[in-house]
Amino acid sequence: MKYRSTRGQVTGQSFESVVLEGLAADGGLYIPEHLPTLPSDWQTQWANLSFAELATELISLFVGDDVSRSDVSALVCKSYSTFSTSEVTPLVSLDGERKTYILELFHGPTFAFKDVALQFLGNLFEFFLERRNRNGGSHKITVVGATSGDTGSAAIYGLRGKKNVEVFILHPEGRVSPIQEAQMTTVLDDNVHNVSVPGTFDDCQDIVKQLFGRPDFKSEHSLGAINSINWARILAQITYYFYSYFTLLRQGGGLPVFVVPSGNFGDVLAGYYAKELGLPVRKLVIATNANDILDRFLKSGKYEKDSGVLATPSPAMDILVSSNFERFLWYLARDYEAGGNADEAGNVIGRWMEQLKTTGSFAVNQAALTAARQTFWSGRCSDQDTYATIAKYHSREPSYLLDPHTAVGVHVAETLREEIDGLGADTICLSTAHPAKFSEAVLKAVNENGGHLDFGSILPPAFIGLLEMPRRCLTCDNSADAVAKLIVDQLSK
């Protein structure tokens, strides 16, 4: 198994190199040079596997000779032993009459879906570095990432205390929830460095990309990526699409439509790869908040930046440009712009990304848009509808408390109910975070819509007293130069 960059200038890379490198030298994102073939009997042989066993089967298809099957199994078991349920990502019924289910992805140590990937990625980093250092080497990695809230805490919990790893996480000042900020900044391990930057998540993400685009700096400090630009993040998330499919079948359900709250496109991209591997998915639904660049693309074929990021009750989705969308665009470029030529597809992606940078937009042709619509539907959810959806399901019997990101997905699923029923499909809405992580939004939704919520009754024990714990956080100007200097200063201590 080899990997190539979406920009076309880097090919033939191993799994180990793409994991440790993160972003390709040409600025592109790594994708497999070809997708593996599932075993012919996967639907029967995998049907009753545990989450860890299923992850081992899927991940082993993508690692080539870089990681043995026994090592994949050990890494997977270690990663998911930190989850509070043996199912790892349980599937629960939200509305039996309408065949709607919630895929709970928040049972990891930081109560967010990103734990599924980042617990694995943290162990994978450590595995590769320890192997490189067995014969007296001194390989280290400096992980640099940006977060709109959940990536940061999940990355920190996945990397804290890891040998030969330093981690720097940039977050936008005042634009993450109090719980999210506390989860990050109360981790006091010596190898963890939180950095608060004035601006937006997109500003933080741009700084990270600029640092990775400086070859000398990247090489000198062995930069590694934990954002979903890292292929291993996407790979690890494919598992829960297969696992929920088998769970649904065991519960008497049919073929699924997956509805995915979407910001940076990584979560739903994993669903796309699951479908391309052969998982019988009827549709993937991209659910956006008011920052709706993906919804607008599916409706018009034009990928266009808005004037700025809007603050919403679902802050992890408050993103102007969805970085992972470039991976999906590569397949559109190859099949509908480049005549099936993989190298030319990289040139097309390069032109599109340059247009986006210089003019704020680019457009795909009608054939490409039609192909995208065959896989994806999309919808948008306003702030008002987010609050109303939380209140609606909390007041029902049985009651279910949605976090604001999950509420976006559930609302969009409701707006597409007729279309989903027309497919004869069941609906699986991905729940990306525990509601306690967004207490202000959840309390506002319930208490201002005629309900009452005793928040202490749903607060995980790990959150009790979290806001009062000692913290450590650095502040930095909003520029790549300033962040680079901060990293150098911290590493020299």
- The residues annotated as belonging to the active site are 114
Helix, strand and coil percent figures for the chain, each rounded to 5 = 50, 15, 35
Residue 162 tokens read as: 């890891």
Cβ-contact 436, 455 below 8 angstroms: yes
Query: Judging by DSSP bridges, how do beta strands 91-95 and 283-288 pair with one another?
Result: unpaired
| 123 neighbors 67 (Cβ within 8 angstroms) | no
Question: Which helix or strand (DSSP H or E) is residue 270 part of?
Answer: helix 266-277
Helix-then-strand count for the chain, H and E: 20, 15
H helix or E strand, kind and range, residue 240: helix 231-250
Give me the phi and psi of 464, to 5 degrees please. Answer: -70, 120
* Integer CA distances (angstroms), 76 to 51, 103, 142, 347, in order: 9, 20, 23, 36
Please report the sign of the dihedral spanned by the C-alpha atoms of residue 456, residue 457, residue 460, residue 462: positive
Compute the distance between CA of residue 238 and CA of residue 267 in angstroms, rounded to an integer: 9
Q: What type of residue is 101? A: Y
- For 328, the enclosing helix (H) or strand (E) is helix 325-336
195: left (phi over 0), alpha (psi -120 to 50) or beta: beta
Q: Which two tokens stand for residue 474?
A: 């650095």
Secondary structure (3-state) at 197? strand
- The 3-state DSSP class for residue 192 equals strand
Paired sense of beta strands 100-104 and 91-95, if any = antiparallel
Q: Where are the alpha helices (DSSP H) in 61-113?
A: 69-80
Residue 118 · residue 183 · CB < 8 Å: no
Give the Cα separation of 161 and 268 in Å (integer): 30
Q: What is the CA radius of gyration of the chain?
A: 21
Query: Which candidate, 176, 132, 128, places its Cα nearest to that of 154?
Result: 176
One-letter amino acid of 254: G
Rounded CA gap, 347 and 446, in Å? Answer: 50
